[in-house]
Amino acid sequence: MHIPLNPNAPYTIFWFRQDLRIFDNLGLFEAAKIGPVIPIYIWDEDHRPDSKTGAASKWWLHHSLNYLNHSLDNNLNVYKGLPQEVINHIINTHPVKAVYWNRCYEPWRVTEDAKTKILLKERGTECKSFNSSLLWEPFTILKADKTPYKVYSAFYQNGCLKSSKPRELIPRPEKLILIKDHSNPTTLDHLNLLGSIPWHSKLEHHWDVGEKAAQKKLMTFLNSNLKGYKENRNYPAMKAVSRLSPHLHFGEISPHQIWHTLDQEETCQDKNHFLSEIAWREFSYYLLYHFPTLPYKNFRPQFDRFPWEKNALLLKAWQKGKTGYPIVDAGMRELWQTGYMHNRVRMIAGSFLVKNLLLHWHHGRDWFWDCLVDADLANNSASWQWVAGSGVDAAPYFRIFNPVTQGEKFDPTGLYTRHFVPELSKLPDQYLFKPWEASPEILKNARIILGKDYPTPIVDMKKSRQAALAAYKTGHT
């Protein structure tokens, strides 16, 4: 519902950030209980140059904000600038008595929240922040000695599951009176999230964006893919995962809804495993909150001495999916074409970058950040440190995925690999993940000239493994 501005009415600003939904939005629900709401979104990227949003994420954000605006009957107010300055301006020009928002946990947003609360306190304006993004607040889950957990299993089993249950779901506001700020000239298009080159048109074939799409995806997963999830999730061709990650990142669906919806299902290993995956997301945010240098600094200091290579050609070959290792290339091309990569293949491609090419995990972090529609600072940082071996609760460095055996095990029919690496589509299964072992006759019948139609391996698997282990030993002495 929209009403005209009334200078005598007390308004509440609700500040949307990574909670672009109406259902189970605690902050919005509480704001609507007070009275008329001015719904706002602030694009402040120009004022935080060290945390630029990736291109694929900008595409998603544009469409998510557009969907949210329609859900709010075109009453979403979009602004550009520093949040404190924007909010201060709105309060100066409209009768605002309170500002509400849901908490975010990126380091700069924690700082942003603190500054905003100081400003509002000095003005005498009520402000409240709420938890609508995590099942458990990071500062509430601590060990007996009041220090943060550093091991996932202990965090989940001893911390989360023995803590209070995630809060119950919040309904849509019964009465949501919305205020449009007609004095604000900024529109969604002014944010220029899509840019001038329509590279992102390829993503539109793979994703539906918005709260309704997120709700539908959750139900599709429950009805079609939950059964067998624990095992099937490892096979990229099966499409057995939920693909809810971008919806979760932008807050088009809450983790609480996913948790409680799954909790109603009959107890089984598939349900428990999926809930544990939701808890991994919680753990990533937990680490980011307690260790805010996680996105750029090795959690394990001994990795500061690691002898990383510098090779732009190898990096580019990895980015473009031209390494000569088909399962790695399939994953990197899936990323480039769809803005997404299956989690099993993310681990394989990540291991290949840091352990076979000996390139710093920062390169992988940055490429994924720009290309993933589900790019998330907490997940991206924790996952890359995990695969590099430099993080908390990390995979041992000597655990080096072999892309040949991984491809043969998890894409046994080659359906996934052949889809994204079509130049190998006619190669027999026996040689699909190691085309260099195929005879000249087999390659000819498959219409492949190695080095021309498909690259030869950019590194030798055995030698690169030995080099990685030697580098690990050197970097830890």
Q: Is 207 designated active site?
A: no
In the set 45, 126, 343, 408, the catalytic residue is 343
Alpha carbon 120 to its chain centroid, in Å, reads: 31
Q: Is 309 designated active site?
A: no
In the set 137, 234, 265, 308, the catalytic residue is 308
CB count in 10 Å sphere of residue 433 = 25
Q: Are 392 and 363 in contact (CB under 8 A)?
A: no
In the set 277, 311, 336, 408, the catalytic residue is 277
In the set 15, 136, 384, 386, the catalytic residue is 384
What is the Cα–Cα distance from 120 to 91, expressed in whole angstroms?
10
Q: Is 369 designated active site?
A: no
First-last CA distance in the chain: 66
In the set 361, 367, 369, 386, the catalytic residue is 361
Nearest residue to 448 via CA among 437, 458, 459 = 437
Q: Is 280 designated active site?
A: yes
Q: Is 15 designated active site?
A: no
Q: Are 39 and 74 in contact (CB under 8 A)?
A: no
In the set 126, 234, 280, 408, the catalytic residue is 280
Q: Is 136 designated active site?
A: no
Active site (catalytic) residues: 277, 280, 308, 343, 361, 384
